Amino acid sequence: MKMLSVPVIDMAPFRIGGSVEKRAVAASVDRACRDIGFLIIEGHGVSPTLIARTRDVSRAFFDLPIDKKRKYGRPATDVLRGYIGLNEESLARSRDRYAGSSDLNESFMIGPVDAPPADYAFAPKAGNHFAANIWPAEPIELRPIWTEYYRAMASLAQTLMRIFALALGLDEAYFDSKIDRHISRLRVRNYPMQLAPPSPGMIRAGAHSDYGSLTILATEDRPGGLQVCNAEGKWVDVPIVPDCFIVNIGDLLAHWTNDTWVSTLHRVVNPPLDAGAESRRQSLVFFHNPNYDAAISCIPTVVARGERPKYAPTTSGDYLRNLFVATQNS
């Protein structure tokens, strides 16, 4: 019977245990990734103080007047950096190019904070995946705090990818060479309080699946939250567990596993109309993406004898660039 709600999994035995403990964690992760594509992780080792500092400095940025925030706007649709305002994006459009509703959130994002050598970062095939980050002048603490948080998420993502490798029957280090120059993004989304009913069809974030290998989310327990579509086609709330992260796999990992693991539809719904100031919500989202030249083709351990892969080989960079551009409002 398939899992229909999001499980909580303790990572600590993998981080500090031996091979038996590691494989037990991997088995739990494998079931979650097969059934629902989401899990909640505890025992991850990331400092709660760092998470709180990142929340606070991000909130201070979003509290700035709109004219100040727009100074740091995204320079082009294929440059994944800077500020994106309300109604400037539609995540649902990544699945349906004709989806009309814009998302009721604003965001700020950065890319890698430790660039690889220039001959790799700026090679013709690299595109804009290593474009310079755009850093606000205020709050002045944002750059060092976000840099520290990005590095912490990159380290956690590497551990998760090692768990994933064991869960898929591979050597623990299988993915290491495919993510050592990753093109991940840290994006903080601010969902403003809703004091008036939104236009018909508009929600905080439209139904979509994520694009890369995995996503690590730290969010708040506020009205109007995250929902996931389970195997029965029902939208269920994702619980917010203190000091835990929500993790979900993305399309590239689903392609790698020939859909043995599922990249699940999810959305962020509107709060009740009477929620008022309590409905403001902020999410710290780390989108972990493999190296731009990482070949994404079916992992041999997930294909039965005589079975053919569902997807043509691609690269991480090409796949991600096309999907991100599709979500932007012109």
CA 286, 299, 309 angle in degrees (round to 5)?
110
C-alpha–C-alpha distance, residues 215 and 213, integer Å: 7
CA distance 175 to 263: 18
At 205 the three-state DSSP class reads strand
CA distance 59 to 80: 20
* DSSP class per residue in 167-185: HTTS-TTTTGGGSTTB--E
CB-side exposure of 49: number of CA atoms within 13 Å? 0
User: C-alpha dihedral over 127, 136, 62, 57, to 10 degrees?
Assistant: 110
What pLDDT is recorded for position 78?
73
Spell out the domains of the chain, with CATH numbers in brackets: 8-326 (2.60.120.330)
Which amino acid is located at 77 in the chain? T
Region of 4 on the Ramachandran plot (φ > 0 left; ψ -120 to 50 alpha; else beta): alpha
Nearest to 329 by CA among 68, 92, 135, 132: 92
Q: Would you say 251 and 174 are in contact if contact means Cβ atoms under 8 Å apart?
A: no
Q: Shortest CA distance to 53 belongs to which of 185, 188, 156, 182?
A: 188
pLDDT for 232:
92
Q: What is the pLDDT along the chain (330 residues), one digit of tens a residue?
A: 777 789 999 999 999 999 999 999 999 999 999 999 999 999 999 999 999 999 999 999 999 999 999 999 988 767 889 999 987 776 655 555 545 567 889 999 999 999 899 999 999 999 899 999 999 999 999 999 999 999 999 999 999 999 999 999 999 999 999 999 999 999 999 998 888 888 887 888 888 889 899 999 999 999 888 999 998 999 999 999 999 999 999 999 999 999 999 999 999 998 888 887 888 999 999 999 999 999 999 998 988 777 889 888 999 988 887 666 555 544
